[in-house]
């Protein structure tokens, strides 16, 4: 489908693989479900199919990438590769992007340095503002996510992937689709009162985690991933679910930390294993079946789906097959 | 007082200045109030007065410091200096510590790179575990703080300094001292029920911000500041309010990001100013007088106290003067 939309074959394959990998780890809000919106943006001329992704500024431990409005997956894969390569020499490297686009789940890129025995950190400016300043009403901040991936030994890696809001906006929409109320604490209305009806979401705001702390965290992530790189932040962020033509100027940042620079890699991994085990073996609160480490459920889904295939909801499958039929591409249902 | 406790004159002056700076910015839980506990640890032989603070591992963009169980202020000041020096060349640098100690408020060190036109990030493992894994009962995690300091132009810098728990443990103790109940959401008991009586704090746990998200964040901060450096993490963390003899093996990390590596420094600062102003000018919720940026209150306190002096509570002043009298040092009250 991506090739039929005009992406060069190799870029289409890269983006397709990364989208599938999002679904493989259960990040289904950031996987193949995005094909429709991506296609719409491409057809509206809102994304550059032949970007000249280039380094505009560089030092031994950093680079700033201009994504030339190409697909975010291509920009961030390149960013991760550069960060890993530089961190081999300097011990740590940071690569920021501007003029990038939505790139899928944050953990996809934070995970990349792990194969090189590095810790990966990832920060991004979200593509729609749903969060005001603490005490404010103007939506000037996004769910700006943070991801961190820490290699382990025999235990699964520890992979955190979180929005800086209590709930992601997609979860609110899912509640509306299922006709369920939201828990108190996800959103408030313009009077600051709890909002539980997901159908009224346009009249309210997402709440940041820990109140003013999450506001500060979202802002700092935006400064690191957006403002530092000359990418959109604050009122410059467009709502990419409403506007398919304007360049998003998405900013992201990836940081790779080489374990080998700090000491023996296996000893580090053994310490992570031990910590994972002691957390998991913790005495549990009544009613709690299992203590989970960040990324553990994704890790299990990754193994299960790789073995059994990735389940797609029937409605999504129908939408994809309809898109395929329109583009003259073999449908998934027919396979 | 620090000199009378046996610190070399120059180290005593350095630690004293940094402790005063904590009070100057209103971080009064991390300033001169800590002199008592520091003195107790020093007298118990729990801290090394003549540490050989040295780099044990180094690359162009990183260093790992062994603090040799010296005072944390000395270790982290050195760490910040090394990070700034390295970041001038590589664009970003990261310095971790092990065998360090409590160093005061996180923002003190995150702020240091700002004078060199750099963003500062700081992570630390707290010195007492008050947080279990999400769903667990064993206290294996601390309030592991995050700080970030971002230079601005004519606006105050944006300085975030936050524990990864809803409330810091010191705030719970303050509620108990004042005989006030805690708000719901600060702590839960071993059944997971909200706890509002601060006198029962020993029977409960602090809650992480955003529930399982804050648990993940605290863990990741601990991995970066503790595990990566071979410092204490998980069950290795001692309670430094109960045990004054055992080496804390505190781990911290500081990261400096050179603005100049990413483009024009003044243009960056102008973007931060603009963002600050648009957040501050946001329409406000009913009852909200003012929108604050992270660090804005500390900034104002810093200016006010520098002009008018730092107010100390009478009880603290009495305690300090009693310590001074015992050590034959001139009391504050007499000045």
In this prediction, residue B279 carries a pLDDT of 98
In terms of domains, do B77 and B146 share one?
A: yes
In terms of domains, do B128 and B84 share one?
A: yes
Positions in chain A whose pLDDT score sits under 70 = 334-335
Choose the closest CB to A282 out of B59, B140, B291. Answer: B140
In terms of domains, do A199 and A119 share one?
A: no
For residue A29, is it within any domain? Answer: no
How far apart CA B274 and CA A235 sit, in angstroms, is 10
How far apart CA B142 and CA B215 sit, in angstroms, is 10
In this prediction, residue B158 carries a pLDDT of 98
In terms of domains, do B114 and B195 share one?
A: no
In this prediction, residue A174 carries a pLDDT of 83
Question: Quick check: A220 contacting B, CB < 8 Å?
Answer: yes
Under DSSP, is residue B118 helix (H, G, I), strand (E, B) or coil?
Answer: strand
- Which residue from B192, B193, B189 is spatially nearest to B201, judged by alpha carbons? B189
On the question of pLDDT at B335 being above 70, the answer is: no
In terms of domains, do A221 and A81 share one?
A: yes
Instruction: Mention every residue, 6+ apart, whose C-beta is less than 8 A from residue A92.
Output: A61, A255, A256, A257, A258, A261, B61, B62, B92, B93, B94, B255
In terms of domains, do B158 and B137 share one?
A: yes
Strands (E), chain A: 54-59, 62-66, 92-100, 118-124, 131-132, 139-141, 146-150, 158-162, 187-189, 194-195, 204-206, 250-258
For residue A3, is it within any domain? Answer: no
For residue A197, is it within any domain? Answer: yes
- Which DSSP symbol is given to A228? G
The residues pairing with B69 across neighbouring beta strands, listed in sequence order, are none
Question: Quick check: A274 contacting B, CB < 8 Å?
Answer: yes
Residue B113 dihedral angles phi and psi, to the nearest 5°: -65, -20
Interchain pair A294, B219: CB under 8 A: yes
In terms of domains, do B231 and B135 share one?
A: yes
Question: Quick check: A191 contacting B, CB < 8 Å?
Answer: yes
- Which residue from B121, B153, B120, B111 is spatially nearest to B268, judged by alpha carbons? B153
Across chain B, mean pLDDT equals: 95
Closest-CA distance of chain A to residue B235, Å: 8
In this prediction, residue A335 carries a pLDDT of 47
Choose the closest CB to A285 out of B137, B268, B288. Answer: B137
Choose the closest CB to B89 out of A60, A134, A288. Answer: A60
In terms of domains, do A70 and A196 share one?
A: no
**Residue of A59, A65, A118, A157 to mutate for B, most B C-beta atoms under 10 A:** A59
In this prediction, residue A192 carries a pLDDT of 87
Q: How much is the average pLDDT of B225-232?
A: 98
Q: Can you give the residue range of the structural domain that contains A177? A: 166-207
For residue B225, is it within any domain? Answer: yes
Question: Quick check: A259 contacting B, CB < 8 Å?
Answer: yes
How far apart CA A122 and CA A161 sit, in angstroms, is 9
Residue ranges of A 110-169 with Cβ closer than 8 A to chain B: 119, 132-138, 140, 146, 148, 150, 158, 160, 162, 166
Last residue of a domain, one of B207, B224, B240: B207
Counted across chains A and B, CB pairs separated by less than 8 A come out at 253
- Which residue from A47, A55, A51, A145 is spatially nearest to A97, judged by alpha carbons? A55
Interchain pair A64, B262: CB under 8 A: yes
CATH number, domain with residue A121: 3.30.1370.60
In terms of domains, do A53 and A78 share one?
A: yes
Last residue of a domain, one of B157, B179, B207: B207
Question: Quick check: B234 contacting A, CB < 8 Å?
Answer: yes
For residue A25, is it within any domain? Answer: no
ipTM rounded to 2 decimals? 0.96
List pLDDT tens digits, range B284-326. Answer: 999 999 999 999 999 999 999 999 999 998 989 999 999 999 9
List pLDDT tens digits, range B170-199. Answer: 788 889 888 999 999 899 998 889 999 999
In terms of domains, do B54 and B203 share one?
A: no
Last residue of a domain, one of B250, B265, B280: B265
Q: How many domains does chain B have?
A: 2
Task: Decide: pTM greater than 0.80.
Answer: yes
For residue B110, is it within any domain? Answer: yes
- Which residue from A203, A194, A179 is spatially nearest to A130, judged by alpha carbons? A203
- Which residue from A235, A169, A164 is spatially nearest to A204, judged by alpha carbons? A169
Question: Quick check: B334 contacting A, CB < 8 Å?
Answer: no
In terms of domains, do B72 and B131 share one?
A: yes
How far apart CA A289 and CA B125 sit, in angstroms, is 28
CATH number, domain with residue A178: 3.30.60.50
For residue A322, is it within any domain? Answer: no
Distance of CA A184 to the CA centre of its chain: 25
Interchain pair B283, A213: CB under 8 A: no
Q: How much is the average pLDDT of B225-253?
A: 97
In terms of domains, do B136 and B228 share one?
A: yes
For residue A35, is it within any domain? Answer: no
């Amino acid at each position: 489908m991506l090739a039929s939309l005009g992406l060069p074959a190799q870029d289409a394959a890269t983006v397709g693989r990364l989208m599938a990998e999002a679904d493989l780890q259960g990040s289904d809000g950031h996987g193949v479900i995005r094909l429709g919106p991506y296609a719409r943006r491409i057809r509206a001329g809102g994304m550059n199919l032949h970007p000249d992704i280039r380094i505009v500024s560089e030092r031994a431990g950093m680079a700033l990438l201009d994504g030339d409005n190409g697909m975010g997956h291509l920009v961030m894969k390149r960013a991760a590769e550069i960060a890993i390569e530089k961190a081999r020499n300097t011990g740590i490297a940071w690569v920021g992007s501007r003029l990038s686009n939505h790139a899928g789940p944050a953990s996809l890129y934070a995970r990349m340095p792990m194969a090189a025995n590095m810790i990966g950190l990832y920060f991004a400016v979200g593509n729609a503002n749903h969060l005001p300043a603490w005490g404010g009403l103007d939506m000037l901040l996004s769910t700006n996510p943070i991801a961190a991936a820490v290699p382990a030994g025999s235990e699964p890696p520890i992979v955190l992937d979180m929005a800086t809001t209590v709930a992601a906006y997609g979860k609110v929409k899912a509640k509306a689709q299922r006709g369920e109320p939201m828990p108190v604490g996800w959103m408030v209305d313009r009077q600051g009162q709890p909002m539980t009806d997901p159908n009224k979401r346009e009249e309210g705001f997402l709440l940041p985690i820990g109140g003013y702390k999450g506001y500060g965290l979202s802002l700092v992530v935006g400064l690191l991933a957006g403002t530092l790189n000359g990418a959109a932040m604050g009122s410059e962020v467009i709502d990419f679910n409403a506007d398919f033509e304007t360049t998003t100027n998405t900013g992201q940042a990836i940081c790779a930390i080489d374990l080998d620079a700090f000491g023996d890699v296996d000893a580090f991994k053994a310490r992570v294993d031990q910590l994972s085990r002691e957390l998991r073996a913790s005495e549990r609160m009544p009613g709690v079946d299992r203590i989970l480490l960040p990324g553990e459920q994704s890790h299990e889904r990754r193994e299960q789906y790789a073995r059994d295939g990735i389940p797609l909801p029937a409605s999504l499958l129908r939408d994809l097959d309809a898109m395929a039929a329109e583009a003259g591409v073999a449908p998934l249902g027919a396979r």
